[in-house]
Amino acid sequence: MKKILYILFCLLPVLGGKAQTIYKDQIRIENESATRSDDNRLTVSMDFVLQPNLKMGSNNATTLTPFLEANGHTKELPSVVIYGRKRQLINQRNHQTPESAYTIVRRKGKMEQTVNYLVQILMRDGCVRLI
């Protein structure tokens, strides 16, 4: 079964420095930040920490999809896809890769893994575009 988890970022409040735990205390988000530069670029940065207790079958995949929400508008950011061992081998053999994946990670059992995430978005006239 494919699990899709959405992580919410709101542009209005300031992001706190405290780690956020999602998905049954098995995935943690640390060092999250969203900064806007003078040239209207929004930089979203965070670390996904896959806990040692993350239960995932070797034939399964999990998709973590962050998104921005402001003024009633939502923008999905590129996803982080986590594969079990068998799922990675099958998809590699069949040359299948998710279209909007930021990165694909193979889950290593009973180990803590950190996935660094950094995306820049161009903001023009209220529109948000990925760079």
pLDDT tens sequence across 52-99: 998 888 999 888 988 888 777 788 899 999 999 999 999 889 988 888
How do residues 19-33 score in pLDDT, each as one tens digit?
A: 566 667 888 999 999
CB 80 within 8 A of CB 103: yes
* Domain membership of residue 70 as a residue range: 2-130
Tokens of 63: 């998709």
In terms of C-beta density within 10 A (0-12 exposed, 13-18 middle, 19 or more buried), how is residue 34 classed? middle
pLDDT over threshold 60, residue 7 = no
What is the spatial distance between Cα 105 and Cα 40, in angstroms, rounded to a whole number? 31
Number of domains in the chain: 1
Q: What is the pLDDT of residue 89?
A: 92
Other beta carbons within 10 Å of 83: 22
Q: What is the pLDDT of residue 116?
A: 96
How do residues 106-116 score in pLDDT, each as one tens digit?
A: 998 889 999 99
Tokens of 28: 């943690």
CB 43 within 8 A of CB 35: yes
Q: What is the pLDDT of residue 109?
A: 81
Arithmetic mean of pLDDT over the chain: 80
Confidence of residue 10 (pLDDT cuts 50, 70, 90): very low
